[in-house]
Amino acid sequence: SKKQKPMFTIDVPAYVDRNIRAEAGQINVTKMLAESAAFVLEDDFEQALGNIQDAIAAQPNNADLRCMAGNLHEDLEQTEAAEKAFEAAIAINGSHIQSLCRLAAIRFNRQRDIAGARTLVSRAVTANPTDIPALLADAMVRHYAPHPDRDIDFAEGRYRQVLAQDAGHVDALCHLGTLLLRERGNVMGAEQ
């Protein structure tokens, strides 16, 4: 059977290129990231999280590492720990897009904090107005909010903004199709 792709991935070369390395005498963070990636590929999220936590101990002010820990906590269904990790990443870097979007998803899905989720994704879009995951998260928070918080016109505009950058973006196409069909009754538009 086909393995489900985990939410968490590590692009080790990107971290090497950004010179995320422990100083002399400290833990080799790059090696830990590579080991964590191997554990993720084996679906051993507990071991991967242990390595990331060791890397955080070596570099406590690294927002990317804190975000990785949050992703792993989510994979392990440890929502409260994930939320704390994303909050820590945002405390270090207030415009950490992935942490803002993941924390917004937790607030939206688990806590039904629509206003809090909107604020977080708005911060992500403000940090990078062309970031596709941030734009998509912003659209979804407005599209799937319960009435009266739903903003269909805004959501449709955001989905179209994503599609203007990537016409084949599967998630944007699916969500826009759902919006057009359910909210607008536009069967022809949803099929396109």
The reported pLDDT for the residue numbered 184 is: 85
In order along its 192 residues, the chain shows pLDDT tens digits of: 444 444 444 444 444 333 444 343 345 787 888 888 888 889 899 999 999 999 999 899 999 999 999 999 999 999 999 999 999 999 999 999 999 999 999 999 988 899 999 999 999 999 999 999 999 999 999 999 998 889 999 999 999 999 999 999 999 999 999 999 988 887 676 565
The reported pLDDT for the residue numbered 11 is: 43
The reported pLDDT for the residue numbered 63 is: 96
Ramachandran quadrant class, 147 (left: phi over 0; alpha: psi -120 to 50; beta: rest): beta
The reported pLDDT for the residue numbered 191 is: 61
Distance between first and last Cα of the chain: 32
For 191, counting Cβ atoms within 10 Å of its Cβ (0-12 exposed, 13-18 middle, 19+ buried), the class is exposed
Count of H helices and E strands in the chain?
11, 0
The reported pLDDT for the residue numbered 147 is: 84
Distance CA 182, CA 60 (A): 46
Tokens, residue 36: 């964590």
The reported pLDDT for the residue numbered 189 is: 63
